[in-house]
Amino acid sequence: MDRVTVALGDRRSDIVIADGLLDRAGALLANHIRDSQLVVVTDANVAAAQLPRLERALLRAGTTVVPIVLPPGEATKSWDQLRRLCDALAEHGVRRGDTIIALGGGVVGDIAGLAAALHLRGCDLVQIPTSLVAQVDSSVGGKVAIDSAAGKNMVGAFHQPDLVIIDPLCLATLPQREFVAGYAEIVKYALIGDADFFAWCEANSPALIARDQSAVLKAIQACIAAKAAIVERDERDTDGPRALLNIGHSFGHAFEALAGYDGTLLHGEAVSAGIAIAYGYAAELGMCDPASADRVAAHLAAHGLPINLPAALGTADGTAIVAHMMRDKKNRGDALTLILPTAIGHAEQRPDCAPAHVAAYLDRLRP
Ligand code: GLY
């Protein structure tokens, strides 16, 4: 079992990674069990695919699961579902100091994590991510949020999980489209900090996308080690390295908002398009070699990931996209803050991007 620590004093997180860990949940969660029961927040798809494994593992340890099952999909990250979830936690008698388990992908991790931050001003949280996006990125680091009318992840908190249990075998039931979308987040880690890892991705992505167990495990380990180091240095995302994890996300979050969070554009697909566009824009600004931008786009496209304005945007033009980007949490003043690459393996925060210039660039990408 691989063990990674995010050393943040009393907000320390332990992350354990190995095939089959869900079946060992009884022992792993022993410190989190009160009154022989555990509240598990999940969604309907994961409840069907993975909850029975967790229930069996906990039953062997003499513990029953109290499941709270949410609808699947990004639309669940809403005020309405958050209120329902908080009401359900109260109805189930979850007390301060109790542990809430988030069993699911990024959506479940985000809303369950936010509910854990809010219920009684804070409960303990264990993340058991079941999607590739969540296993390589979102389950670690404590960012939890819902979407609001103002945009993606606009209402949230930092609430570190005590424990993250990553069992790559949970990915077996993940639809291939979601698996491939998650690959964009793996590529992200290579692009912001590790050119050798990008070369590894180029060599090994066919095996990884075919779900070769050792390739998947290696990619998860690389991403989680990188994320843990970044979160330790910049937990609150305050002008430090954590912002780099947002490469492609200013564009991507705007694409998701314009597409309507209805499943037509997955988060990882939006991030893929955003990363390719960030490289293209950086090349346009002379920050990055155009050959590197082409290499990144070719790699993402080789796996069917979008590298241009997604069709789900419909008639939205550069001005409409930038209007959403202007709400991004990184922005200061009237300018856009973008994470732009200078190479493969290196990116920078640029707080001075002119909205009209970005809009004009996006308009040039329209079909
Ligand atoms: N997923 C980006 C972050 O955790 O900062």
- Residue of 235, 245, 256 to test ligand 1 pocket, by largest number of atoms within 8 Å of CB: 245
- 3-state secondary structure at position 306: coil
Index of the ligand 1 atom closest to the CA of residue 246:
2
Ligand 1: atom nearest CA of 243 is 5
Reading the chain (367 residues) residue by residue, the pLDDT tens digits are: 899 999 999 999 999 999 999 999 999 999 999 888 899 999 999 999 999 999 999 999 999 999 999 999 999 999 999 999 999 999 999 998 899 999 999 999 999 999 999 999 999 999 999 999 999 999 999 999 999 998 899 999 999 999 999 999 999 999 999 999 999 999 999 999 999 999 999 999 999 999 999 999 999 999 999 999 999 999 999 979 999 999 999 999 999 999 999 999 999 999 999 999 999 999 999 999 999 999 999 999 999 999 999 999 999 999 999 999 999 999 999 999 999 999 999 999 999 999 999 999 999 999 8
In sequence order, what DSSP letters do the residues of 323-350 get, joined into one string?
HHHTT-TT--TTSEEEEEEEETTEEEEE
Residue with tokens 């990250």: 77
Q: Measured in angstroms, how far is the CA atom of residue 87 from the centroid of ligand 1?
A: 28
Closest ligand 1 atom to 143 CA: 4
Probe residue for ligand 1, chosen from 144, 227, 256, 349 as the CB with the greatest number of ligand atoms within 8 Å? 227
Q: How far is the CA of 243 from the centre of ligand 1 (A)?
A: 8
- Considering the four listed CATH numbers 3.40.50.2000, 3.40.50.1970, 3.30.565.10, 3.40.50.300, the one that applies to the domain covering 2-173 is 3.40.50.1970
The protein residue with its alpha carbon nearest to ligand 1, atom 2, reads 245
Ligand 1 centroid vs 195 CA: distance in angstroms?
Answer: 20
Locate tokens 């590529």: which residue?
187
Contact residues of ligand 1, CB 6 A cut-off: 137-138, 141, 143, 237, 242, 245
How far is residue 364 from each of residues 60, 160, 233, 298, measured CA to CA in Å? Answer: 59, 41, 38, 19
Q: Which residues pair with 341 in a beta bridge?
A: 347
Sequence-distant (6+) residues with CB within 8 A of 84 are none
Q: Which atom of ligand 1 is nearest to the CA of 138?
A: 1
Domain regions of the chain by residue span:
2-173, 181-365
Write the residue with the smallest CA distance to atom 3 of ligand 1. 245
| HSE value, Cβ hemisphere, 13 Å, CA-based, for 37 | 10
Strands 143-148 and 151-158: antiparallel
Cross-strand bridge partners of residue 15: 4, 164
Question: In this structure, which topology does domain 181-365 adopt according to CATH?
Answer: Dehydroquinate synthase-like, alpha domain (1.20.1090)
Residue at 291: amino acid letter? A
What distance in angstroms lies between residue 141's CA and the mean position of ligand 1's atoms?
Answer: 7
Q: Residue 62 Cα, ligand 1 centroid: separation in angstroms?
A: 35
- Cβ-contact 107, 73 below 8 angstroms: yes
pTM of the prediction? 0.96
Between CA 6 and CA 227 the distance in angstroms is 9
Whole-number Å distance, alpha carbon 282 to ligand 1 midpoint, is: 21
